Chain A
Amino acid sequence: MTEHAATPAPLQRTLTIGRIEPGSEQERRLRELWETPPGWRGWLSTVDHKRIGLRYLVTAFAFLIAGGIEALVLRVQLARPDATLLTPEQYNQLFTMHGVTMIFLYALPVLSGFSNYLWPLILGARDMAFPRLNALSYWIFLFAGLFLYASFPFGEAPNAGWFNYAPLAGLTYSTGPNIDIYALGMVLLGISTTVGSMNFVVTFLRMRAPGMSLDRVPVLVWGTLTASGGNLLAVPSVSLAFFMLWLDRRIGTHFFDVLNGGRALLWQHLFWIFAHPWVYAVVLPAMGIVSDALPVFCRRPLVGYLPVALSTVATMVVGFVVWIHHMFATGIPALALSFFGAASMVIAIPSAVATFAWIATIWTGRPVFRVPFLYFAGFVFLFVIGGLSGVLTAAVPFDWQLTDTYFIVAHLHYVLLGINVFPVIGGIYFWFPKFTGRMMSEKIGRIGFWILFAGFNIAFFPMHIAGLLGMPRRIYTYAPDMGWNTVNMITSIGAFLFAFGVLVFLWDFAYSLRRGPVAGDNPWDAPTLEWSTSSPPPPYNFAIVPRIASRHPLWEERISGTMRSRLTEGYVLDQGREALGTTALDGDPDVILKMPEDSYAPFWLGVASLVFFSGLALTAWWLAAFGLAACGAAIVVWLWPRRELGQRDDTAHPRESGATS
């Protein structure tokens, strides 16, 4: 009791409310506080969410191009029957790496890129909740990606498919390093996904600007939050599965070894318990992009914000009880299958909510046909087709025919390209001015869209037909008398057309980076907070802490309502790198957060983890031990107590600095 009474009263600092004009002395000080130093030092040590976000985007696109080239080689092989361009082994490595690359190294990371860049700007914050963890998440993603490709040049890439079923992936049937690289690379990548997801969840809960209650959060944030929550629950399953597989292979355990009491089917459960929620994790944020950006081009707020936000969350919740629909053919009793089939159909309902909300937004709005609008409208069309083919695959008896045929390949590409790639490219056209301060070309953008849209449908629609004609997936060639020749030729032509469309987009991107017209702060007249900053935004994001009164702070004066957000006057936080923490539900000011400086620790922790995993992959235990020790050292340096990060300034005025405003 006495001790308790002796502790100091809650530390208080009276926050000043004020303005900071651009170009003022105060603004320059803020800029110096938050700016990352130029050169390689800043490059390795930055914790700025904007730079990390752009890195995610660029790296994910590099992997998209790698995966795309792999796909084109596959399509050359499959264009004609009995082709011999690739050996079966080469084909198997290429289709495995194509899947691994697109699903793990492109689809989620590209959305993490958008969210890393945009979240603090959309939420009115200065950075993510854990900036150094954010840097770590990127470095580990990069290193895991390189790790997964490490054996590719030696012709020993993972070759058992991205789903990597045991026991084909076990030591008996795959003795090389192929599967070890995949297993360990996935565990490493899982660390990146997990820390990234934690960061999003905490940022969502504590970093929203004052006044941004839960019902004023943009849908992209709901999408990424839902995806992150899903990942936190799903990734442990796959990390565990891959770790168990590696133990089976190199340490001699028997988790999946039937001869010694293991269960081969266990792999499928552990994998799909993860992989189905993951499918939603790589589409929900992209649907969020559309829900936020499409209304800008319809000149009205989104129809049905609440149902759309709720259906986002509902999709993920139901998404956790549908994994068996990847396993309808495993011999599970029909009664259990009917439950999972029903759940897989019900999950179409939240999708229907979102679809009709988008269409209603267009219908009741006054659409402006700029390039992002084309991509988002195209997305709605592809989403409908992908969703409907999904309903077909949820029908248990029909799925017994469809599964493992090209129908599924068609479905998943409509879903993943349609719901991920189209919104992503639309999103890049939309936010490019914010990222770079320049506009991309309207003319080339249109040409690129129509090439991509046509190429996509020419490539992937015939795959439905190939599937109905019985063409199984993952075959390296087929006989000429199976009736699949024409559809495959059309698909291959479409694939190259699509690739050409990607080139057009990349050319526009590269050209506009240097030569695009200057954009201004808000070229699309968009409603959300990121457009209130300069383009590109200053290192500190917001000079003062804005106060939010509605879902569309920049449109308030023109649409009904009397609430007004305050964007130019607010709390001044300029005593070091500071950000405001708010309460979880209502977004009330709660605490001043001392944000960390740039740090090399995340980079070195990433390198040390890479060394550790390389040691495991090479079964060089001394190297693994060295890597582990280096990880420990990097964590010690990272967590070493530093006065400027303390919540109490006990050097000077013990009772004046710290928490609560």
Chain B
Amino acid sequence: MLAMHNAIHCARRSTRAVIAPLVALVYQTNVRADAPLNYFLHADGPAATPTMRLGWALAALAVVVALTVTGLLVAAIMRRRPPPAERDAAHLQAEGGGMHWVWIGTSISSVALFVTLAYVLVTLESVASPRKTPELTIAVTAYDWWWKIDYTRTNRGEAGVTTANEIHIPVGEPVKIELRSADVVHAFWVPRLAGKTQTIPGVVNEQWIEADRAGVYRGQCSQFCGAQHAHMAFEVIAEPRPQFDAWYAAQALPHVADASVNAGAKLFLDRCAGCHAVRGSDASGTQAPDLTHLNSRRLLAAGALPNTASNQLDWIRHAQRIKPDALMPSIALSASDAAALSAYLRTLQ
């Protein structure tokens, strides 16, 4: 027993030692302040890069065609004609003429379209499925208005991991994402890694992502899903395989009770456990994010806030102000209760 306990502590400490600087690093270098969802200038994986190049080609084509046709339109309007004095107001041009314009213009447009179509189909083929079969499958279930992440099947026969709003993947490996919905239609979208796929009740959709380099990639629900559609974000954290394995091992561990925060733990069980789970405790709610390793996550409330102790309390007390109509209620807490609960939450490493 004791040995196992020690091992757990050891594993946790070492993971923290690895993750903390890594997280700090990627936070500084990879979350670009300019448009984290920008997929037109940034693509970081084989499911996104061919699409980005296609987008550039299409945009270039569109600009060229728009300029050409606008040029023709302006030239048609402005071109020099007989001076007004020689014009007879009642004179009309004959019906014929001009048809070659239509044929030439339409023919060129059609050829351009079919070439574009060929390029589109080639790109579709290359991003529709990964070149090698993914070893890792992650089940993502969309809820109003957050994401449940389950690592159910791995090739290593490890225990499952459940977390929320933060997906960790190993760099350079294709990962299969199984998409479900617990309520309404949402859409899973990590713009820099892949296009979007709806999560539809009663249907299991699939998509794949792969990151070329370590980093934090923001994701967002893109299908209107009700009141808090705007704040239904998540992050994909790509890290080298060893760090990923360490993270996984740490996440697989249950929470270990800490007697010094018993008051907070009791409060949690009374007020929070109906919806939230902490594996290793009696809290086993399933309608809200699993909080077993709450403090290992970068963000809070589906990407709405940085995950700090003060934001945690703020969220608990003012959830309805921060995300109106979200399913998390604003919970009134006395100062002492708040301190106790906060102390307990700090143990959810």
Residues of A bordering B, CB below 8 Å: 87-89, 92, 160-161, 165, 167-168, 172-173, 258, 262-265, 298-301, 303-304, 307, 329-331, 334, 337-338, 341-342, 345-346, 348-349, 352-353, 355-357, 359-367, 377, 380-381, 384-385, 388-389, 391-392, 394-401, 403-405, 468-478, 481-484, 525, 555, 558-560
CB neighbours of B66 from chain A (8 A): 384-385, 388
B228 within 8 A of A: yes
For A311, the closest partner residue in chain B by CB is B106
Q: Which 3 A-B pairs have the closest CB atoms?
A: A400-B195, A470-B37, A483-B35
B124 & A397 in contact (Cβ 8 Å cutoff): yes
Assembled-state Cα–Cα distance A144/B255 (Å):
58
B202 & A88 in contact (Cβ 8 Å cutoff): no
CB neighbours of B62 from chain A (8 A): 388-389, 391-392
Chain A to chain B contacts (Cβ below 8 Å), 7 pairs: A165-B223, A300-B93, A345-B117, A356-B101, A359-B101, A360-B76, A364-B93
Assembled-state Cα–Cα distance A525/B75 (Å):
25
Sorting the interface of chain B by its residue count into under 10, 10 to 19, 20 to 34 or 35 or more gives 35 or more
CB neighbours of B106 from chain A (8 A): 349, 352-353, 356
Question: Given A391-B113, A397-B195, A483-B38, A299 and B65 touching (CB < 8 A)?
Answer: no
CB neighbours of A365 from chain B (8 A): 93
B45 within 8 A of A: no
B92 within 8 A of A: yes
B116 within 8 A of A: yes
CB neighbours of B117 from chain A (8 A): 341-342, 345
A398 & B55 in contact (Cβ 8 Å cutoff): yes
A470 & B77 in contact (Cβ 8 Å cutoff): no
A559 & B94 in contact (Cβ 8 Å cutoff): yes
Assembled-state Cα–Cα distance A482/B32 (Å):
9
B95 & A483 in contact (Cβ 8 Å cutoff): no
A349 & B109 in contact (Cβ 8 Å cutoff): yes
How near does chain A come to B115, taking the closest CB pair, in angstroms?
A: 11
How near does chain B come to A307, taking the closest CB pair, in angstroms?
A: 6
The A-contacting residues of B in range 55-97, CB under 8 angstroms, are: 55, 58-59, 62, 65-66, 69-70, 72-73, 75-77, 79, 81, 87, 89-95, 97
CB neighbours of A345 from chain B (8 A): 113, 116-117, 120
For A487, the closest partner residue in chain B by CB is B35
CB neighbours of A401 from chain B (8 A): 39-40, 48, 51, 55, 191, 195-196
Told that A168-B226, A471-B37 touch, could you supply 11 new A-B pairs with CB distance under 8 A? Answer: A303-B101, A329-B198, A331-B198, A360-B102, A384-B73, A395-B116, A398-B54, A470-B38, A472-B220, A472-B229, A558-B91
B116 & A88 in contact (Cβ 8 Å cutoff): no
CB neighbours of A477 from chain B (8 A): 230
B171 within 8 A of A: no
How near does chain B come to A447, taking the closest CB pair, in angstroms?
A: 19
A265 & B98 in contact (Cβ 8 Å cutoff): no
CB neighbours of A363 from chain B (8 A): 72, 75-76, 79, 98, 101
Find A392's partner among B59, B73, B109 (CB 8 Å cutoff). B59
Assembled-state Cα–Cα distance A400/B201 (Å):
20
B 210-239 binary contact with A (CB < 8 Å = 1; else 0): 000000000011111111111000000000
B113 & A349 in contact (Cβ 8 Å cutoff): yes
B98 & A361 in contact (Cβ 8 Å cutoff): yes
B160 within 8 A of A: no
CB neighbours of A92 from chain B (8 A): 226-227
CB neighbours of B113 from chain A (8 A): 345-346, 348-349, 391
A367 & B222 in contact (Cβ 8 Å cutoff): no
How near does chain A come to B326, taking the closest CB pair, in angstroms?
A: 9
CB neighbours of A555 from chain B (8 A): 92
B187 within 8 A of A: yes
Assembled-state Cα–Cα distance A381/B95 (Å):
24
